[in-house]
A = this chain, B = another copy of it.
Amino acid sequence: MRPVIGRLAIIGQGLIGSSITRAVYERKLARETVVTDASPKVRKRLLELGLGEARIVKTAAEAASGADMIIGCVPVRSFSQVVGEMAPVLKPGAILSDVGSVKQGVVAECLPIIPPGVHFVPAHPLAGTEFSGPDAGLPRLFVNRWCILTPPEGSEETAIDSTRRFWEAMGSRVEVMSPARHDMALAITSHVPHLAAFSIFHTALAQEDKDHSPVIQFSAGAFKDFTRIASSNPVMWRDIFLMNREPVLEALRSFITDMEACARAIEEGDGDTLEKLFSVSRSTRRKVIEKEHISQQPDEPDDALKDTLFRPYSQDN
């Protein structure tokens, strides 16, 4: 495959950043790849890992200098600072992107400090595992996963197209939407479910403490999914909740109201309401499954992931 990018800079080499580095190398998507990470320990580890032909440099500015595309793979609350460091060296026509789980706040913070002539096309690949760090990266992590682009109003179509082509070449399915719509959709499908997972895990720990009986030992199925979710990167999640505050609180209020309606039905022994509620879930889920099945037929992403000890899940943030 012909490289789609000349010089690519990837800032941050955790799970997502190092997965991009690996994928770009495997698919030959850039003529040159320069990577960096704020942590000296991670940079040392990158040297040991080798990660394709990526050049490892010390600072974001050094990596971004002369790059055609720059992808920030850092916690969402750190991104604007990194953009500030890179701003003086970004070349006109370059595309600046990220992989963060929150868009409105990031766009608001970054737009004012991005030099004119540099295109900002935020991206969010819905992919991940519960592991972190450069060792956790997987070259096929993005295959058949959604990548959502949230270009600010007035973005140039050519820049959006280039970013789309990049992610399609990574094997992803690309969707474009506004930052606000993205943040609400993710609050519901990802951020609040994670909060629920964290909370139920705490409820279980408290119960074990209370009566010294095993609870977590029986973590299979539903609860196992929850505990896997609950073990994702704490700093990344802290930042997501702080950055996506309003949509998360809105979704959370609606969720808690729904839960309380369930609690009332249980308390009152109202079987009809419960059955009706559960039936709607089931029929809607069927529709989702049918859609998924068709779109995922051509190329299942899981082959490359079979070596990992635990099943990755595709939307960790």
Query: Which chain A residues have a beta carbon within 8 Å of chain B's beta carbons?
Result: 126-128, 130, 145-146, 148, 175, 177, 181, 184-186, 188-190, 192-207, 211, 213-235, 237-239, 241-242, 245, 248-249, 251-256, 258-260, 262-263, 265-267, 269, 271, 274-275, 277-282, 284-286, 288-289, 291-293, 309-311, 313-316
Contacts and interface: CB of A to CB of B under 8 A. Distances in A.
Given A258-B202, A263-B249, A185 B218 contact: yes
Given A184-B213, A189-B223, A222-B229, A242 B200 contact: no
A11 B242 CA distance: 52
Contact of A245 (B186, B258, B269): B269
B256 A260 contact: yes
A205 B263 contact: no
A222 B190 contact: yes
A266 B241 contact: yes
**How many copies, total?**
2
A207 B315 contact: no
B266 A189 contact: no
A203 B148 CA distance: 21
A202 B281 contact: yes
Contacts of A199: 255, 258-259, 262
A207 B253 CA distance: 12
Contacts of A211: 181, 184
A313 B190 contact: no
Give me the 3 closest cross-chain CB pairs, A-B, nearest first. A221-B315, A231-B285, A234-B278
Contacts of A202: 258, 277, 280-281
A189 B227 CA distance: 10
Contacts of A229: 221-222, 225
Nearest to A197: B222
A254 B203 contact: yes
Given A274-B238, A313-B225, A188 B204 contact: yes
A253 to B, nearest CB: 8
A106 to B, nearest CB: 17
Given A181-B211, A189-B218, 20 more contacts: A126-B220, A126-B221, A184-B213, A185-B207, A189-B222, A192-B200, A198-B262, A200-B255, A203-B251, A216-B284, A221-B229, A222-B316, A225-B226, A238-B271, A238-B278, A239-B271, A242-B269, A249-B267, A252-B266, A293-B309
